[in-house]
Amino acid sequence: MEVPKEKQAFIEELLRAFPFIKTRKLSAEKAERMRDLIDAVVEIKEIEAGKQKPRSMKALLREL
């Protein structure tokens, strides 16, 4: 779910009001992985839209 920063507190409070919805904080490691995953999806969408060129396999392997 994508929520603007200024609305996040409201959404969190709203979700806590429902007894059948359980929320928990992400660990720093999991939060970082989620950000990386979101960044990857955004990059894929930009490549598909032609706004960005895909990286070569060599460049990708150098990152590892």
**pLDDT recorded at residue 32:** 94
- Give the whole-angstrom CA distance, residue 1 versus residue 50: 25
Q: What is the tens place of the pLDDT at every residue in 47-61?
A: 999 999 988 889 888
Output the CA torsion sign for 8, 14, 16, 20. Answer: negative
Number of H helices, E strands in the chain: 3, 0
- Give the whole-angstrom CA distance, residue 16 versus residue 52: 39
Q: What is the pLDDT along the chain (64 residues), one digit of tens a residue?
A: 788 889 989 998 998 899 998 878 889 999 999 999 999 999 999 999 999 998 888 988 888 7
pTM of this structure: 0.57
- Give the whole-angstrom CA distance, residue 12 versus residue 32: 20
